[in-house]
Amino acid sequence: MTDTSENVEDICKSVAYLGEDDIAVSNHALILKHNQNPKFLSYSTLTDCFLAQKRKVVVGVKVSGIKPEQLAKFKIYLPSLTEQKRIVEQLDTFTSSIENLKEQIAQRRKQYEYYRDQLLDLEGKPGVEMKKLGEIVVFRNGKGHEKIIIPDGKYIVVNSKFISSDGSVKKYCNEQISPLYVDDILMVMSDVPNGKAIAKCYLVERNNLYTLNQRIGAFHVCDSNVITKYLFYVINRNEQLLQYDNKIDQTNLKKDDILNITIPLPPLQEQQRIVSILDTFEASIRNLEQQLAQREKQYEYYRNILLSFE
């Protein structure tokens, strides 16, 4: 069990060791000696009740911690060993289902990446024209919004976290400093070394909802021979841009570097065919992710119910 972390939720995060061999643990780890069901105790540390008790005693600013004597005073629901075993079996069913969905998502993503790479490997093929990105789009850069961020506002501020989370992590403001429009393709231009957000893209599907933050680029297609969604798939985490990440320093993509990448342009009919195939993969992944989110909510709900002593 961990005794320190940068966030309260991860303090006391535990694992039940079910092996028979001796093991060693590093510092900032606690070992609980007990005669209960180990998985039951591990599940108990994840409940809302346990979290509420942690919040009352953890100390620290950047890194928070808890003392063993504080942890010893925590209360948990402790039924008979038979009942503990029954609860563990129920919760194991949920966690097994969750892990299965995660594996399906990972496999589907691999399939998507394989077919995307195959479908977009077009250079040198008949009927394919090669153009620089700057020849087919109009580029805009975002502006700083930090001073006008509020908890809840009219506009979503599109920053790197918004894009890297596929729109789930949001910040708001009431002033649309840098408006975005339907079919704008947005790209993260700065990230940490080996970051997963650099060159990641987001496609705008609604007007009058977003405002563009600094270090996020916006591209709007200005060529009638280019389908926007096709271009989105081509430039999203494009290898020509990922090469600027040296894995050591902060990656900062320059406007000219981005606009200078080469884009393969097959006929419109082929662009649409590629989009349809990749859209099908994305829809399948989103469906699995929705199932995962629902299953995780069910698990958390029943975990709190089954392990509550109130």
The tens place of each residue's pLDDT in the chain, 310 residues long, gives 989 998 888 898 888 989 889 888 888 888 888 999 999 999 999 999 999 999 999 888 788 899 999 999 999 999 999 999 999 999 999 999 999 999 999 999 999 999 999 999 999 999 999 999 999 999 999 999 999 999 999 999 999 999 999 999 999 999 999 999 999 999 999 999 999 999 999 999 999 999 999 999 999 999 999 999 999 999 999 999 999 999 999 999 999 999 999 999 999 999 999 999 999 999 999 999 999 999 999 999 999 999 986 6
The total of structural domains in the chain comes to 3
Is residue 100 a part of any domain in this protein?
Answer: yes
The residue type at 135: E
Domain of residue 113: give its range: 78-128+275-310
Residue 110 located in a structural domain: yes
Of 58, 76, 94, the last residue of a domain is: 76
**216/133 same-domain check:** yes
Residue 270 lies in a domain: no
d(CA 21, CA 131): 61
CB 213 within 8 A of CB 275: no
Same domain, 156 and 223: yes
56 and 115 share a domain? no
Closest CA to 301 of 125, 90, 84, 11: 90
Instruction: Give yes or no: residues 68 and 153 share one domain.
Output: no
If asked whether residues 141 and 245 sit together in one domain, one would say: yes
User: Residues 140, 227: one domain?
Assistant: yes
187: in domain:
yes
Cα of 19 vs its chain's centroid, Å: 32
66-113 pLDDT, tens digit each: 999 999 999 999 999 999 999 999 999 999 999 999 999 999 999 999
24 and 44 inside one domain: yes
* 70 belongs to a structural domain: yes
Q: Are residues 115 and 200 in the same domain?
A: no
* Backbone torsions φ then ψ of 143, nearest 5 degrees: -130, 160
Q: What is residue 306's predicted lDDT score, i.e. its pLDDT? A: 95
CATH of the domain at 170: 3.90.220.20
> For residue 181, what pLDDT is reported?
98
Q: Are residues 207 and 301 in the same domain?
A: no
Boundary-marking domain end, from 232, 247, 265: 265
pLDDT of residue 28: 84
284 and 245, same domain (yes or no): no
Pair 209, 138 in one domain: yes
- Look at the block and give the residue holding tokens 């805009």: 140
Q: CB of 94 within 8 A of CB of 298?
A: yes
| 300-303 long-range contacts, CB within 8 A, separation 24+ | 302/90, 302/91, 302/94, 303/43, 303/46, 303/47, 303/91, 303/94
Quick one: 303 and 206 in the same domain?
no
